[in-house]
Amino acid sequence: MRDMRKTRERLDYNVNHDLLTGLYNRRYVEEYIASHNINFAIGMLDIDDFKHINDMYGHHLGDVVLKTVSDAFVNHLEEGQLAVRWGGEEFILLFPDYTVPQAQDKINEICRIISSSAINEDGAKIYVTLTAGVCDGNSLNFEEAVRNADNLLYYGKRHGKNQVVAT
């Protein structure tokens, strides 16, 4: 019985979490939004030049970067805020009951912390920056909010990277 319960708990965890980073996954956040009637600001973040990191240092170090960035999100978010690995090197940060300026300030703070600390692994010393798009999700369905945040993110990528762009 005990082994079955542990197996069930592990399966439940795996269904809702990204196995590399331990963050919530896309499936979880979509179900969370559908089942909670909340006001929120949303940030979509992307690691700048991640392909270059993988190409130059290998996928192992790319995984270390993903895990380090994910840990920074978890360590600097407040209770009730969600960090989600959306896919590849893209993440969503969900801020219930936050305004866009509040979420933008929080994301700027987290991005500064991440970019100011080198990742030291296998003799490599890497500094990582992120670009983010932040918008209000209150008057939109979740898909529209994600699309808007993504558009803002890519505006930031096209205009210099290493910045947080908000509506």
Q: Kindly state the percentage of the chain with pLDDT values over 70.
A: 99
Rounded to two decimals, the pTM is 0.92
Q: Would 5 be classed as within a structural domain?
A: no
Mean pLDDT of the chain: 94
| First-to-final CA distance of the chain | 52
Q: Pairing relation of β-strands 40-47 and 130-136?
A: antiparallel
Range of the domain at 145: 24-166
Closest-CA residue to 166 (of 82, 120, 100): 100
Q: Would 13 be classed as within a structural domain?
A: no
Residue 51 is predicted with a pLDDT of: 97
Q: Would 153 be classed as within a structural domain?
A: yes
Report the domain count for the chain: 1
- Other C-beta atoms closer than 10 Å to the C-beta of 32 total 17
Q: What CATH number is given to the structural domain containing 75?
A: 3.30.70.270
Q: What is the dihedral of CA 105, 72, 119, 46, to 10 degrees?
A: -60
Q: Would 86 be classed as within a structural domain?
A: yes
Q: Would 156 be classed as within a structural domain?
A: yes
Q: What is the pLDDT averaged over residues 19-29? A: 96
Q: Would 19 be classed as within a structural domain?
A: no
Q: Would 18 be classed as within a structural domain?
A: no
Q: Would 17 be classed as within a structural domain?
A: no
Residue 81 is predicted with a pLDDT of: 97
Task: Tell me the pLDDT tens digit for each residue of 81-128.
Answer: 999 999 999 999 999 999 999 999 999 999 999 999 999 988 989 999
Q: Pairing relation of β-strands 90-96 and 40-47?
A: antiparallel
